[in-house]
Amino acid sequence: MSHIKSLAETIAEFRETPLTEKKPRAKRVPRKRPEDDFHKQVAKLLSVVIAKPGVCSPQGVIWYSVETRAKRSLREGANNKARGCVKGCPDIDIYYAGFAYKIELKAIKGRLSDGQEELHIELARAKVPVLEARTLEAVAKVLDTWSIPHRRAVL
């Protein structure tokens, strides 16, 4: 005679047997962004020697940084492109005496992307100076090169 399981036995058996084997998820390791750390240091430096971002100094200098990271989705990328956003914009914008100055921040081992190289060429054609900085000392030197008024900071 065949054994007929009760509904309770079937449910109990079902609960003991997983439907699918779950693989353990690998822990997501945050991507290191040494350029982000450097960018924060530069923002702190410029806040001390010029003024807070987006605030004009008594000498008439204003600076800020605009987030230009890559799109997060195709839809966002298409929307950005339709609004006139371009890739490769320098990290720091400085304005003084009616002129624009741009600083591209790079980690020690970082390199310019193709988009950055292309836009920097176009900015040079428009007579907008762009300089690259990889250290806080290099940022201070850029300010001196352009004669941007600032308080001296001990680096």
CA distance 129 to 123: 7
92-96 vs 130-133, strand pairing mode: unpaired
Q: Is the pLDDT of residue 132 over 70?
A: yes
DSSP one-letter code for 52? S
What's residue 30's pLDDT? 65
Every domain of the chain and the residues it spans: 31-145
pLDDT tier, 44 (very low <50, low <70, confident <90, very high otherwise) = very high
Q: What per-residue confidence (pLDDT) applies to 79?
A: 82
Identify the pLDDT of residue 97: 96
CB 142 within 8 A of CB 133: yes
Token pair belonging to 86 = 């371009």
Residue corresponding to tokens 């009760």:
6
CATH of domain 31-145: 3.40.1350.10
Give tens-digit pLDDT for 88-103. 999 999 999 999 999 9
Q: Under 8 Å CB-to-CB from 143, ≥6 apart: which residues?
A: 49, 150
pLDDT at 155 over 60: no
